[in-house]
Amino acid sequence: MAAPPETLDVRTMKDWTIVVAEDAIPSERYAAEEFRTFLCQATGHELPIAAAATVGGNVFIGPSPALRASDLAHLMDAAYVEEELRVVVATNIIAIMGGRPRGVLYGVYQFLEDALGVRFLAKNFTHVPRYQADDPLPRRGVLTPMDYAYRPLVSCRFVAFPDLQDTTAQFQARLRVNGRYREDPSVEPEWSKRVGGFNRNGLVLHNINSWLRASPQEHPEYYAADKDGKRPVSHQPCFSNPDVVDRITANVLKDLRDFAPGAMIPMAQEDASLCECERCQALVREHGLDPFGGGGENWGAPLFLAINHVAREVAKAQLENGSELYCERIGMRHFSIQSRYRKGAMDFRIPYGHGS
């Protein structure tokens, strides 16, 4: 049974062309390759990849002069935020657009899952339905026109499974899991380009040393002391050291270009013992607030004070209409910090409370 004229049957795409710009970024060229690979597995049609459109059907992957000359040229006029995707399907044209560097690649995976039923089940196993001319269920693979857009609600998505943290990050990208540790060197450079890199903000968990960027061996004075003043007793920074606060602040300001307005700047303590120097203890006594009556929650005060300083400096650098800061005098022993900024306001938040 042939598809009605207003629909697209993927079994009829034998003479289509995948169109990608000659100067496409690596992740968009890789997106075109992924589209071709899985469409071929599903239908048997191995489409050519070219920079020019053809008189037959075309699959436009990312922005290109050819897309600009097509009936869907307006898709190139939209402003796409990082990882935002848009998938448009018509009877003789498919266009997948998105924010750089990963939006187009993620849009291809969205199409493969929603339109073809592809399922990325494991690193070495992908389920790909087959669509053939003698299909007993001919409505399978028949697509109605659509215009689908999606912007991820969670900016950093991370799962610490080995298959998602390997040297290629291929399976990770297919699942749209974009998180890696900020200083993670394990991904092969060429694969990093193919998958569009990773969430540049890094992870929220135990990341403060990625902002300090100094070793305990070179700067023992930057790190935690025991009650006798011996340093370093752990890789936890000494948050009462003005040089530590200044260095963290300078590195955050230097990297602000990596964070769009409204993005989260994650900062959290290391998984290590806190500093017991007299300077830190004085801040604990002065600024600590323990709503549960004892138990050590006051100890977060030096870190909160340090990150409030960072938040104020970010506000000065980015905002035109002042700032709002929260939780300046709350201390907890176990916590995670999120510093969020946008034009007009700075939010400094602690997303969860009393630690065990």
Q: Is residue 186 part of a domain?
A: no
Instruction: Give yes or no: residues 342 and 247 share one domain.
Output: yes
User: What is the sign, positive or negative, of the torsion defined by CA atoms of 309, 314, 317, 323?
Assistant: negative
pTM attached to this predicted model = 0.72
DSSP 184: -
Nearest to 277 by CA among 244, 327, 329, 228: 228
Span 78-122, pLDDT tens digits:
999 889 999 999 989 999 999 999 999 999 999 999 999 999 999
**CATH assignment at residue 73:** 3.30.379.10
Question: Does residue 215 belong to any structural domain of this protein?
Answer: yes
Could you tell me if 24 and 117 lie in one domain? yes
Same domain, 138 and 214: no
User: Are 301 and 236 contained in the same domain?
Assistant: yes
**Domain span holding position 288:** 204-349
Q: What residues contact residue 250 under an 8 Å CB cut-off, 6+ apart?
A: none
Whether 235 and 124 share a structural domain:
no
Calpha distance 76→67 (Å, rounded): 8
Name the domain boundary from 115, 150, 185: 150
Q: How far apart are CA 252 and CA 316, in angstroms?
A: 13
Based on the fold, state whether residues 54 and 130 are members of the same structural domain: yes
User: Are 144 and 210 found together in one domain?
Assistant: no
In a domain, 266, yes or no: yes
Same domain as 142, residue 25:
yes
Cβ burial, residue 185 (10 Å; 0-12/13-18/19+): exposed
Tell me, yes or no, whether 30 and 141 share the same domain. Answer: yes
Question: Based on the domain organization, do 105 and 222 belong to the same domain?
Answer: no
Dihedral sign for Cα atoms in the order 251, 277, 353, 235: positive
Pairing status of strand 49-50 against strand 8-9: unpaired
- The C-alpha atoms of residue 265 and residue 249 are separated, in whole angstroms, by 12
Q: Does any domain span residue 38?
A: yes
Q: Is residue 161 part of a domain?
A: no
pLDDT in tens, the chain (356 residues): 455 458 999 999 999 999 999 999 999 999 999 999 999 999 999 999 999 999 889 999 999 999 999 999 999 999 998 899 999 999 899 999 999 999 999 999 999 999 999 999 999 999 999 998 777 666 778 999 999 999 998 888 888 888 988 999 999 999 999 988 766 778 899 999 999 998 866 566 788 998 999 999 999 999 999 999 999 999 999 999 999 999 999 998 888 877 666 666 778 889 898 899 999 988 888 877 654 544 455 678 898 889 889 988 888 876 533 333 333 333 333 333 333 333 333 333 333 222 32
* Contacts with 297 (C-beta within 8 Å, 6 or more apart), sequence order: 288, 290, 291, 331, 332, 333, 354, 355
User: What's the domain count of the chain?
Assistant: 2
Query: How many angstroms separate the Cα of 15 from the Cα of each of 8, 11, 30, 56, 305?
Result: 13, 10, 21, 6, 63
**Cα distance between the two ends of the chain:** 64
Q: Which of 219, 354, 211 is nearest to 293 (CA)?
A: 354
Q: Is residue 1 part of a domain?
A: no
The one-letter code for the residue type at 306 is A
For residue 192, count other CB atoms closer than 10 A to its CB. Answer: 19
CB 263 within 8 A of CB 342: no
Q: Both tokens of residue 262?
A: 């409204």
**Residue 127 token pair:** 């389920």
Do 237 and 318 reside in the same domain of the chain? yes
- Does residue 253 fall inside a structural domain? yes
Residue at 197 is within a domain:
no
- Can you read off the two tokens belonging to residue 111? 């199409």
55 and 131 within one domain? yes
CB 312 within 8 A of CB 323: yes
Of 106, 135, 150, the residue at which a domain comes to its end is 150
